Amino acid sequence: MRPFRDLPIQRKLMQMTLLICGTVLCVAIVAIFIFQVLNFRGNFQRDIATLAAIIANNSTAALEFKDAKVGAEVIGSLQAKPTVLAASLLLPDGSLFAQFGEPENSAGLKEFPPGAGFRFTGKYLLCTQPVELDKKQIGTLYLRSDYYQTFLELLTLYGMVILGVMVASITLAVLLSGRLRHTITDPILKLAETAHIVGEKKDYSLRAAVTSQGDELGQLTQSFNEMLSRIQSQDTALSLSRQKLDALVHSIDGIVWECTPDTFQFTFVSRQVQRILGYQPEEWLANPKFWQEKLHPQDAACAIQNCHDLVARRQTYSYEYRMIAADGRIVWIHESGTVLVENDQPTAIRGIFQDITEQKVAAAELDKLNMQLVETSRWAGMAEVATGVLHNVGNVLNSVNVSTTLIREKLQNSEVASLVKLVDILRQHDSDLPAFLTADPKGRRVPPFIIQLADHLVAEHGLLQQEHNHLTRNIEHIKEIVSMQQNYAHISGIIEPISIASLVDDALQINGSGLSRHEVQVVRQYSEVPPVSADKHKVLQILVNLVNNAKYALDKSDALNKRLTIGIGMNGHNCIKVTVSDNGMGIPPENLLRIFSHGFSTRKGGHGFGLHSSANAAKEMGGQLSAQSEGLGKGAMFTLELPLARKKTESSAQPAVEQETET
């Protein structure tokens, strides 16, 4: 310090002036530079986040409709952002949907954060942005931005500006400090004061007064003001971004919120709370227990416990519960959120409340309608079997009616009356019966008449006995059909091991009269198969319906040889298949897609329940019902697949044995 004291006052003033000016200038520049550098990283990340969110939102339609061209156009708009080097839009299965720049390989994708977020790696900023539609992820956007080059350009620019400012300032101070120290010192002090105010109040609208235009001090002041102008512009842009973010948050169809992880006191609630629940954000934030108090009493304990558990797990979550609105309405809420963690400690919970009351009401109504539809279809399927039973009983009753009519006619025209007349004649000649039979011409005709009458009565008795036996068999057939229907109706709903061949035979027997009347040739192709696990009544419904439909298709066709083929065999190792095929009218290709739909029928007067209820019944038993046809006039084949009742240990399928039965 002593050499400094010994310096002439002019040099001391010059040195002090230079030191002070240099120090103040350096402090101001360094403070602004450090602040700008610190803000750059955050601004850069927020800009990329906003850009990624916009691109992801604009890509939802392209991903939903798998329109790669629109996806490429949306991704291609990133070329307007020089800092974005590459972008890839991937489907949920990992396949590439659209890209911009160099596509990311598998190694490159591993560098990106696994979920939504950012990662600085080397000289790049990597951004992962899920693309969601109705809370369902339909794709993922990966952005690679050149953070290092932009930062390097910023450093270079600031370095050059700072270097230029400092060189100019020092040079100007050295040249003019001796003569114009007061002129120089005062503006520098004012500049330092301005820099201090800017750094303290963050008011970038302030400007240093320019006392001269052409000297270095004026240039320094102008450069400083320009730097403040750039900072002010960036701060304004940041404020606008915040305003846009606020507008976006408050326009989301849901309540965006943030709360503490320990007390669940809300620190932020978006304005949508007023529309959805009728509460003001201010009253929600003022009461630490507001959320807990507005929970539905039946859901409150479970919802609060879920929150504690979710905080402990520190994972993204979602669940549903009910809340009480301001007007007393019960509102179903779907809550989804995430737990923020710093230093291995939860710091906050952020999420969104969505009103799903309409979805819940619609789902309940849909469940009710589905139950009604299933019940209607079930009764319709049972009606198919009952209709088949009544139809075949009616056919048998026709035969019964024919037999009774024939018996009645035979009894009305019986020769027993002639026998009564003959007895009366013999009684009249009881006293001279031998002479009457030998001498009287009428008497001599009695023995031949008796012989002829006896032959006729024997033939008549045989015919009546034959019709009686036929009548008895038909009545027994009716009893068997009714008994079969009653037996299956009593065991409905029981899943048990059953022999599929016996059920097929029962279905053919129920439709036997109709098949016989329509002269349908039935071909059985049965392979030996293990029992299946199914409901007997449902399987019978399906088989009766399929046989009845085949009979209808054969009746409407022009085929001379009407043929119905029923096959039983294995389909793989875990299920059996029953095929019902015919050479009837066939099915048009456009109807194959609708044939199992509820209410669809090609038959005049048909209700469209039969195949629909049959397909549902097969699905309920763990199987399926399918249809095949090469078109009109080429017949059709329906295949019923059912699971085995037990695990099959060895192949039991044998070559089919074909039997032809004229029915």
Note the pLDDT of residue 647. 47
Does some domain include residue 235? no
Question: What kind and span of H or E run contains 566?
Answer: strand 563-570
* CB hemisphere CA count around 78 (13 angstroms): 33
Least confident of 10-24, 75-89, 284-298, 356-370: 10-24
Q: Which residue has the tokens 């009766």?
A: 544
Specify whether the CB–CB gap between 638 and 546 falls below 8 A. Answer: yes
Does some domain include residue 241? no
Q: Please name the residues in contact with 113: beta carbons below 8 A apart, sequence gap of 6 or more.
A: 119, 126, 128
Picking from 485, 517, 543, the residue at the C-terminal end of a domain is 485
Residues 147 and 292 in one domain: no
Residues 305 and 399 in one domain: no
Specify whether the CB–CB gap between 112 and 126 falls below 8 A. Answer: yes
Residue-range definition of the domain harbouring residue 283: 252-355
Residues 349 and 370 in one domain: no
Does some domain include residue 211? no
The total number of structural domains that make up the chain: 4
Residues 322 and 337 in one domain: yes
Query: Average pLDDT, stretch 594-599?
Result: 77
Q: What is the 3-state secondary structure (H, E, C) of 600-636?
A: CCCCCCCCCCHHHHHHHHHHHCCCEEEEECCCCCCCE
> Looking at residue 21, which CATH number applies to its domain?
3.30.450.20
Does some domain include residue 173? yes
Q: b or e along 27-42 (b: 16 or more beta carbons within 10 Å of the residue's beta carbon)?
A: ebbeebbeebeeebee
Residues 51 and 92 in one domain: yes
Please determine, for residue 9, whether its predicted confidence score (pLDDT) is greater than 70.
no
For 95-127, write each residue's pLDDT tens digit: 888 888 887 788 888 888 888 888 888 788 889
Specify whether the CB–CB gap between 537 and 554 falls below 8 A. Answer: no
Picking from 201, 222, 243, the residue at the C-terminal end of a domain is 201
> Looking at residue 528, which CATH number applies to its domain?
3.30.565.10
Q: Please name the residues in contact with 451: beta carbons below 8 A apart, sequence gap of 6 or more.
A: none
Cα 362 to Cα 329: distance, rounded to the nearest angstrom: 17
* CB hemisphere CA count around 63 (13 angstroms): 29
Query: Average pLDDT, stretch 81-92?
Result: 87
Query: Average pLDDT, stretch 339-350?
Result: 89
Residues 43 and 153 in one domain: yes
Q: Please name the residues in contact with 409: beta carbons below 8 A apart, sequence gap of 6 or more.
A: none
* CB hemisphere CA count around 38 (13 angstroms): 6
> 650, exposed or middle or buried, with CB in 10 Å at 0-12, 13-18, 19+?
exposed
Does some domain include residue 526? yes
Does some domain include residue 552? yes
Picking from 456, 485, 514, the residue at the C-terminal end of a domain is 485
Cα 419 to Cα 425: distance, rounded to the nearest angstrom: 10
Residues 322 and 385 in one domain: no
Note the pLDDT of residue 178. 55
> With bands split at pLDDT 50, 70 and 90, how would you rate the model's confidence at 385?
low
Amino acid symbol at 532: V
For 12-26, write each residue's pLDDT tens digit: 566 776 777 778 777
Residues 608 and 462 in one domain: no
Please determine, for residue 457, whether its predicted confidence score (pLDDT) is greater than 90.
no
Residues 188 and 49 in one domain: yes
What's the chain's average pLDDT?
79
Residues 551 and 432 in one domain: no
Does some domain include residue 223? no
Model confidence, pTM: 0.34
Does some domain include residue 609? yes
Please determine, for residue 260, whether its predicted confidence score (pLDDT) is greater than 80.
yes
> With bands split at pLDDT 50, 70 and 90, how would you rate the model's confidence at 605?
low
Residues 157 and 259 in one domain: no
Eight-class DSSP state of 295: B
Residues 412 and 524 in one domain: no
Please determine, for residue 639, whether its predicted confidence score (pLDDT) is greater than 90.
yes
